[in-house]
A = this chain, B = another copy of it.
Amino acid sequence: MKLLVKDMDIATGDVRVVIINEKDAALLDLHHEDRLLIKKGKLKTTAVLDIAESNKAVPQGHIGLFEEVLDALNAKHNDAVEITFTKKPISIQYIREKLEGKELSYVEIYEIINDIVQNKLTDIELASYVVANYTRGMTMKEIVSLTKAMTETGSVLKFKKKPIVDLHCIGGVPGNRTTMIVVPILAAAGLTVPKTSSRAITSPAGTADTMEVLCDVTLSPKKLKQILDKSNAFIIWGGAVNLAPADERIIKIEHPLSIDAEGQMLASIMAKKASVSATHLLLDLPIGKGTKVYDVGCAKHLRAQFENLGRELGIIVYTMLSDGSAPIGNGIGPTLEARDCLWILENDSLGPEDLRQKSIEMAAKLLELTGLATEGNGIVMAESILKSGAAHAKMMQMIDAQGAKIKNSNQIKLSNCKYTIHAKKTGIITSIDNIAVAKIARIAGAPRDAEAGIYLHKQKGTRVKKGEKIFTLYAKNSQKLAYAKEAIKQTTSVVIQ
């Protein structure tokens, strides 16, 4: 059937969609979400069909095209195009089989993931895949296949040096910016650490957001190889190098449903590690409210799963269970967290002790795991690298290589738009709520406004006197500060007893 183009004057940015009038759809026996082949001269493309009920949207005899399809066909308003029915991607059949409870093979999972990356599946199809994995569960064989498929449908960074060390913390604990201390310690010890990090999705800061306060985190693969040859390490935003790109689309479905399927989480994390060719991985599982690990039993189960998956992928995984009941470090939000990290690297007494200790423990474990330190001697080695200034020097080298912005904690400027909460009574801080603190910091503007966030003057377990400062809120402007103050009123972020 020949139809005239209606330029919808908007990009979908997603799966390619075309719209035809319901009367034309009926004539061709076409249904919602069918696939069409659209031809204009020698140019052709496939797209998903949406059906308009009103003539206002798309009148009969016309076809509504969005920017991506217009570009693919080099088509303009009122051009004639030819449409024919075409089959749905084979991956939809595999999704159906998963719905039925079948275990999928590597080839089948690869096909689904590849179609996700190529933007060939609709929200309904993708949601049914995500939900099927969630409700049917995944076998370890499927999780291995998923991890490999997610890795192979993106870029893979390959380096000559071995071992390649990586670390990861399962999120949910505000602050906790260990990566920016552990990586320079390990690199100073001579290890290769190509660290790719994420930006915050639901938290006040990701490692990429925090590192970006100090230097650039969006670098080309070519530049990354040069840096690694020179400094042994980098800390960048993984999104810039297209590692395991299926993850982002899957999260877009999981997030509105608040689904976090275990198999999917395992695969998403490990695919990022396989994408940098990691040989050794330290995994931090913080246990506590607001984290993904609600108790020790859950942590032990996840540990076994990650270690099994690591074995299948040829990655040595060591899992550390840690206390995730309250924020770690004093700063929450990119700039405040970057300052904590610099203070620790500078051996400044302002550096938060809990973050310093945890970072040393993590670095120690990787030094032992890679054989650079003998068992039980990692702590001493990591501490000496930090105290000697070697870790600081390495971080400065890394920052320079990535285009330095800030190299000294003194250079960090905080917003004047701030508000401090004081203790209403004398007592011990028995809890600081991860979820409440993260929400307040986000409403104050973090991570979008790097300087926004919360600085904790006191940590969980410390004694405070009535009137002492508990925390200070920072925002870019007074309106955002007002929003965040309102959020403070609505939640119980800090409990004194």
Q: Mark A residues whose CB is within 8 Å of B.
A: 8-11, 13, 26-27, 29, 31-34, 52-54, 56-57, 67, 92, 95-96, 99, 101, 122-125, 127-128, 130-132, 134-136, 252-253, 255-259, 442-443, 445, 448
Closest 9 CB pairs of A and B: A33-B256, A127-B127, A135-B135, A131-B131, A124-B127, A26-B448, A128-B131, A29-B442, A10-B57
CA distance A60 to B439 in the complex (A): 24
Bound Cα distance from A135 to B96, whole angstroms: 11
Q: List chain B residues, Cβ under 8 A from A132.
A: 131, 135
Whether B443 pairs with A31 at a CB distance below 8 angstroms is: no
A256 cross-chain contacts in B, Cβ below 8 A: 31-34, 122, 124-125
Task: Determine which of B10, B92, B127 lies in contact with A131 in the assembled complex, contact meaning CB atoms within 8 Å.
Answer: B127
Nearest CB on B from A28, distance (A): 9
Q: A29-B442, A135-B131 are in contact. Are A53 and B13 (CB under 8 A)?
A: yes
Q: Could you tell me if A99 and B31 are in contact, using CB atoms closer than 8 angstroms?
A: no
Query: In the complex, what's the smallest C-beta–C-beta distance from A343 to chain B, in angstroms?
Result: 28
Assembled-state Cα–Cα distance A253/B128 (Å): 10
Q: In the bound complex, how far is the Cα of B31 from the Cα of A253, in angstroms? A: 11
Could you tell me if B131 and A99 are in contact, using CB atoms closer than 8 angstroms? yes
In Å, the complex CA distance between A443 and B13 comes to: 34
Among the listed B34, B52, B123, which residue makes an inter-chain contact with A127, where contact means beta carbons less than 8 Å apart?
B123
A56 engages B99 (CB within 8 Å): no
Chain B residue nearest to A49 in the complex (CB): B256
Question: A101, B135: Cβ atoms under 8 Å?
Answer: yes
User: Which residues of B lie under 8 Å from residue A54 when comparing CB positions?
Assistant: 11, 13
What B residues does A92 contact at CB under 8 A? 257
For the complex formed, measure the closest distance between the CB of A305 and the CB atoms of chain B, giving whole angstroms: 19
A101 partner residues in chain B, CB cutoff 8 A:
135
* 4 new A-B contacts at CB < 8 Å, known A11-B54, A13-B54, A31-B256: A27-B448, A33-B255, A124-B257, A128-B128
In the assembled complex, 29 residue pairs joining A and B whose CB atoms fall closer than 8 Å, in A order, are: A11-B54, A11-B57, A13-B54, A13-B57, A26-B448, A29-B442, A29-B443, A31-B255, A31-B256, A32-B256, A33-B255, A33-B256, A56-B67, A95-B257, A96-B258, A96-B259, A99-B131, A99-B259, A123-B123, A124-B124, A124-B256, A124-B257, A125-B257, A127-B131, A128-B128, A128-B130, A128-B131, A131-B135, A132-B135
**Smallest distance from the beta carbon of A36 to chain B beta carbons, Å?**
14
Residue from the set A13, A92, A101 with the largest chain B CB neighbour count within 10 Å? A13
CA distance A150 to B95 in the complex (A): 28
A10 and B135: CB pair below 8 A?
no
